[in-house]
Amino acid sequence: MAPAPMPASVRVADLARRYGSVEAVRGVSFDVPSGEIFGLLGPNGAGKTTVLECLLGLRRPDSGSVSIAGMDALANPRGARHLVGAQLQGATLQDKITPRQALGLFASFYSNGPGAAAMIDRFGLAEKADAPFATLSGGQRQRLFLALALVNDPSLIVLDEPTVGLDPGSRRGLHDMIRAMRASGRTVILSTHDLGEAESLCDRVGILDSGRLAAVGSPSSLIARAGTFSRIQFTTAVPAQASEIVSLPGIVECALEQGTWVLSTSDLNGTMVALVGLMASRGYALQDLQVSRPTLEDAFFSLAGRAWSASERGGP
């Protein structure tokens, strides 16, 4: 018998929110068990921030329920705030406040938590602890906001677009921190419109499209569910026979585009083994070989019926 799943840390049910005539969120439901990194994925305007704001009590939904560790977060928002740490998109601090002061201020509202000094050390802010906020770099600011989110030792951490505007180094550092949060037993819910980030960071993702939750699952299961195929591209020094290529196992689609073979396969391993064998037996040399597995972008295309990049531009 399979072990019982851990109790749900967060349960969102039938959440709906309308702004005038616009239905920003339409009946969104999902559960996030303890200790999971859950990504809310969707193009700009999909409703990610509204869902997070309802979860945090910053916005009251028109209908639906939000439960955090069994507590009705809509009926008892102040109580729920003790359980949650959050980093909001676009939030900033006073120019003249120092990290030590900001952490001291936010920590003083809670009876638990590691304290400002510990957070300064833990997030590598010691050097800038007494520097005005305006003088901090983007990465330092992001670390400070993460520290503020953790100042009350929360069990649930909500991060709204946490890596926007960060350089690649800071981005990697932030990913490590988020993984460390999970390792310490916390639940993380983050929103992102970066598919690669969601795929590499999240245990599960929920794909929001026009206010609806189109799919929920692990990145790999969503990709698999979307029924998309791996791609193999290569060229050969001596032209290969099309009949030989098409007869490789798992081949779904095959095309020769300006001297480059482009194959779609449902069995990447089988196709690759057979392709290498064919090339060796005929004495062809494989050149410019590229292999790509299906991604969340492919899954989104399959679910939404349009390309992710078009959604980001607000196109159809």
Q: Is 5 in the site for another protein (CB under 8 A)?
A: no
String marking each residue 142-181 x if it binds another protein according to CB under 8 A: ------x---xxxxx-------------------------
CB of 105 to another protein, least distance (A): 5
- Specify whether the CB–CB gap between 36 and 8 falls below 8 A: no
Q: Which CB sits closer to another protein, 88 or 198?
A: 88
Distance from the first to the final alpha carbon of the chain:
46
Judged by DSSP in three states, 99 sits in helix
- Indicate the DSSP class of residue 5: P
CB of 98 to another protein, least distance (A): 10
Q: Which CB sits closer to another protein, 109 or 200?
A: 109
> Helix H segments across 135-267?
138-149, 168-183, 195-201, 219-226, 242-246
Residues 38-97 contacting another protein, CB under 8 A: 56-58, 68-71, 78-79, 81-84, 86, 88, 90-94, 96-97
- Specify whether the CB–CB gap between 16 and 26 falls below 8 A: yes
User: Tokens representing 225?
Assistant: 């569910």
Residue 269, φ and ψ in degrees, nearest 5: -60, -50
String marking each residue 125-144 x if it binds another protein according to CB under 8 A: -------x------------
Among 105-113, 244-252, 260-268, 297-305, the segment contacting another protein (CB under 8 A): 105-113
Q: Which CB sits closer to another protein, 9 or 311?
A: 9
128-157 in b/e form (b: 16+ CB < 10 A) is bbeeebeebeebbbbbbbbbbbbbbbbbbb
Q: With the C-alpha atoms ordered 218, 222, 223, 227, is the resulting torsion angle positive or negative? A: positive
CB of 145 to another protein, least distance (A): 9
Binding footprint of another protein on the chain (CB under 8 A):
7, 9, 34, 56-58, 68-71, 78-79, 81-84, 86, 88, 90-94, 96-97, 101, 104-106, 108-112, 132, 148, 152-156, 185-186
